[in-house]
Structure 1
């Protein structure tokens, strides 16, 4: 774990997160956090549709039926369902990357838990808080919240693209 923390600190320095925020990293990470709930909803909705269609067409809700059908290429509907499944799988990878980056953020030695709490309450909570309720819950002033949120988003971005994504890619190549 010490090796990872030192590596994250080096990455943070290269992205200038301590002194100034790398605007591209911040912007991209902020976009990713903003789409998280949409992606989560999409994967849930897509999976539900796939299961329903598979059950309707084949009398079985098992998506394994799709693999057999698309191998033979005998049914256009099966191909479409298979494509939907692949889209859902891609969305799941995004969710896994985000969740993994959040776990790493939480263990970061310099305000990692505080940053995790901010991002969790802002982007991942089932309840959408009014600004004042959010500030009260986090026990932060408005200016401190926005300053720390920006640093949390930037650190999340560095961890996502600097560590988690390369690990996912490396693991995919090994499979």
Structure 2
């Protein structure tokens, strides 16, 4: 039987979270390379390591705006902030959601671990110590639920979702 491709829900928030997770390893890799490039460039241009020089940078009044280091540093900072937001959101989900621990391991081995696994079977094998009795079909269903849970933390409820939720608690008379 031919395996059907994974169907993506219509909700744009899910799509955004899914893309963010798919790009996570590439962003981490790119960020590490960028930091190393800035450090090397700084060492060449200033003659000192960033760590040694940071305390005196404000006193010296050095202006890096002309050589691109400042722009590259801002770009690194944006990427770092995005990764930090994702990390905090994943930890909130892990610690507060009723299925948080299971969802964490599903997302970790699917998207967040340093190495990318070659197949779903490899991922399921890595998950088994943390999630008992998981089939391939269950894996895809629960991973989708994990992405949805993370999505609600990252992007919050839309006003339409909030109104619907409020209506359940406080129905019109």
Runs of 5+ consecutive residues of structure 1 not aligned to the other structure: 1-20, 164-175
Q: How far has the Cα of 1:111 moved from its partner?
A: 1.0
| Match 2:85 to one of 97, 115, 139 | 97
Q: How far has the Cα of 1:137 moved from its partner?
A: 2.7
Partner of 2:17: 29
Matched, 1:135 2:124: yes
- Give the alignment's TM-score, normalised by structure 2: 0.72
**Cα separation, 2, equivalents of 1:22 and 1:102:** 22
**Cα separation, 2, equivalents of 1:39 and 1:128:** 14
Asked whether the 8 Å contact 1:119–1:152 carries over to 2, the reply is yes
Paired residue secondary structure (1:69): coil
Q: How far has the Cα of 1:22 moved from its partner?
A: 5.8
CA root-mean-square deviation: 2.1
Partner of 1:53: 41
**What number of residue pairs does the alignment pair up?**
138
Asked whether the 8 Å contact 1:29–1:157 carries over to 2, the reply is yes
**Cα separation, 2, equivalents of 1:161 and 1:143:** 27
Partner of 2:170: none
Partner of 1:5: none
Asked whether the 8 Å contact 2:89–2:150 carries over to 1, the reply is yes
Q: Which moved more, 1:144-153 or 1:134-143?
A: 134-143
Paired residue secondary structure (1:70): coil
Describe the superposition over 1:103-128 as per-residue Cα deviations: whole angstroms up to 9, x where unpaired. 01101342111011100111111232
Q: Which moved more, 1:101-110 or 1:133-142?
A: 133-142
Change beyond 3 A, Cα 1:112–1:157 = same
* Paired residues for 1:37-116 under 5 Å: 37-62=25-50, 64=54, 68-70=61-63, 76-77=66-67, 80-116=68-104
Specify which structure has the higher proportion of helix.
Answer: 1
